[in-house]
Amino acid sequence: MTEAKLIPALNKENLSHFSKTYVPSRLLLGPGPSNAHPEVLNALSLNPIGHLDEAYISLMSDVQQLLRYTWQCNNRITLPMSGTGSAAMEASIANFIEEGEKILIAKKGYFGDRLVDMATRYKAQVSFIEKPWGEAFTYEEIKYEIETKKPAIFAIVHAETSSGVLQPLDGIGDICRKNNCLFLVDAVTSLGALELLIDEWKIDLAYSCSQKGLSCPPGLSPFTMNKRAEEKLGSRKTKVPNWYLDLSLLNKYWGSDRVYHHTAPVNMNFAIREGLRLIANEGLENVWNRHNTNAKKLWNGLESLGMELHVSEDYRLPTLTTVKIPPAVDGDGFRNHLLRNFGIEIGNGLGELSGKVWRVGLMGFNSCEENVDRLLNLFDTELKKFSIFESSTF
């Protein structure tokens, strides 16, 4: 046998240069991920077990029950999809739209644009309504568009992470039902942090993520669908074009049969069970109040320092605040300074708001008074160092 010739990056001498994995300590106060709760990290580090082990199957049932509480729904098909939030977003399109069907998407930021992109790829007949990044739709605007366009699905982002807008959803479910239309909601930045009532608001389909309000690492995307959505899925004329995200197959694994579909990320499900358990122990209303209280403290503190917020308070998102970068300030320089010198991450603007705002997140475990005080103190003491003109004020 001839001696194997390893590529240079993998020979013994080169490998000796690698130390054990090290990650610096960070306080993640950006658009996500947020810091995972220590008890969630403990659960994540448990030894994995088989994804068909009876102990794991029992844990799956716990996760579903806790998710129904957090979603405030009684939907039979409620599960954490294996993948980040974009996986459940795509599942919502792939499973419920067939080629040529009408979908109406309300765009008011980056993630509305992403829904349009996905729906186009699945050959839907896509139409959209649009608002400037920082504004919300009125009930009357949405009602008119649904009644006029008669879509099979109406989709909207509840908490728009790119702009910092919280979209009111009251009454939209009734309009959708009167017009034989499914109501699809992106709850990526609201689930487990803000008031969200799936059954009461008559939301047919909703998806979220694990790394924001649920205080988990990224990797799972909670999803729920009601009987109206089940009926539409069951009446498809063609197979769901995405095998991995096919809910008729996933339901057999997460349903009573527990039929193998894919190797589930068992440790992530350990983690999400713990994150959901912590929410249930605190109580949803207490969780919602905590996020609202800390957000208002942040807003008042920033405004007292002379900062301007991008969204009016009527539609401001408590989990993600967009702060206008003063004209005389080096926005990237300040962000990088916070990260390198204080271990604190805040986000740059996304899309058309890039370079115009900072995005400050207070989500899940990170939504606490101590973090608000720490960040406000740094805005007070450090921001003045990044004025482009020494004599400038803001």
307 vs 258, residue with greater confidence: 307
In this predicted structure, what is the pLDDT of residue 249? Answer: 92
Predicted confidence band of residue 243 (pLDDT cuts 50, 70, 90): very high
**Is the model's pLDDT at 62 over the cut of 50?**
yes
In this predicted structure, what is the pLDDT of residue 391? Answer: 45
**Is the model's pLDDT at 9 over the cut of 80?**
no
Q: Which residues of 108-120 are buried (b: 16+ CB within 10 A; e: fewer)?
A: bbbbbbbbbebbe
Q: What is the pTM of this model?
A: 0.94
Predicted confidence band of residue 182 (pLDDT cuts 50, 70, 90): very high
pLDDT (tens digit per residue) in 195-232: 999 999 999 999 999 999 999 999 999 999 999 999 99
In this predicted structure, what is the pLDDT of residue 291? Answer: 98
Report how far residue 29's alpha carbon sits from residue 346's, in angstroms, rounded to the nearest whole number: 5
**Is the model's pLDDT at 282 over the cut of 60?**
yes
**Is the model's pLDDT at 390 over the cut of 70?**
no
CB atoms within 10 A of CB 356: 14
In this predicted structure, what is the pLDDT of residue 392? Answer: 47
In this predicted structure, what is the pLDDT of residue 1? Answer: 60
pLDDT (tens digit per residue) in 320-373: 999 999 999 999 999 999 999 999 999 999 999 999 999 999 999 999 999 999
In this predicted structure, what is the pLDDT of residue 109? Answer: 95
Predicted confidence band of residue 250 (pLDDT cuts 50, 70, 90): very high
In this predicted structure, what is the pLDDT of residue 10? Answer: 67
In this predicted structure, what is the pLDDT of residue 69? Answer: 98
Report how far residue 255's alpha carbon sits from residue 77's, in angstroms, rounded to the nearest whole number: 8
pLDDT (tens digit per residue) in 37-56: 999 999 999 999 998 899 99
pLDDT (tens digit per residue) in 11-39: 677 777 778 889 999 999 999 999 999 99
In this predicted structure, what is the pLDDT of residue 394? Answer: 52
In this predicted structure, what is the pLDDT of residue 119? Answer: 96
pLDDT (tens digit per residue) in 132-181: 999 999 999 999 999 999 999 999 999 999 999 999 999 999 999 999 99
Do 64 and 78 form a contact (C-beta atoms < 8 A)? yes
In this predicted structure, what is the pLDDT of residue 142? Answer: 98
User: Could you give the percent of the chain with pLDDT greater than 70?
Assistant: 96
Predicted confidence band of residue 101 (pLDDT cuts 50, 70, 90): very high
Residue type, 86: S
Average pLDDT over residues 183-203: 98
Sign, CA torsion 32/38/39/42: positive
Alpha helices, DSSP H, located in the chain: 12-15, 38-44, 54-71, 85-94, 110-121, 139-149, 172-178, 227-234, 247-254, 266-282, 284-304, 331-342, 369-382
Neighbouring residues of 75: CB distance < 8 A, sequence distance ≥ 6? 68, 198, 199, 224, 225, 226, 227
Q: How many CA atoms lie within 13 A of 232 on its CB side?
A: 21
In this predicted structure, what is the pLDDT of residue 389? Answer: 57
Burial of 205 (0-12, 13-18, 19+ CB in 10 A): buried
Mean pLDDT score of the chain: 94
Domains and CATH numbers, the chain: 27-33+283-386 (3.90.1150.10), 38-281 (3.40.640.10)
Highest mean pLDDT range out of 188-192, 257-261, 388-392? 188-192
**Is the model's pLDDT at 272 over the cut of 50?**
yes
DSSP state of 201: T
Angstrom CA distances, 347 to 30, 107, 249, 358, stand at 5, 21, 37, 6
In this predicted structure, what is the pLDDT of residue 336? Answer: 97
Token code pair at residue 378? 């740094």
Average pLDDT over residues 2-7: 71
Alpha helices, DSSP H, located in 188-262: 227-234, 247-254
For 192-195, the CB contacts below 8 A with 24+ separation are: 192/70, 192/275, 192/276, 192/279, 192/287, 192/364, 193/287, 193/288, 193/291, 193/318, 193/319, 193/363, 193/364, 193/367, 194/158, 194/159, 194/166, 194/288, 194/291, 194/292, 194/318, 194/319, 195/288
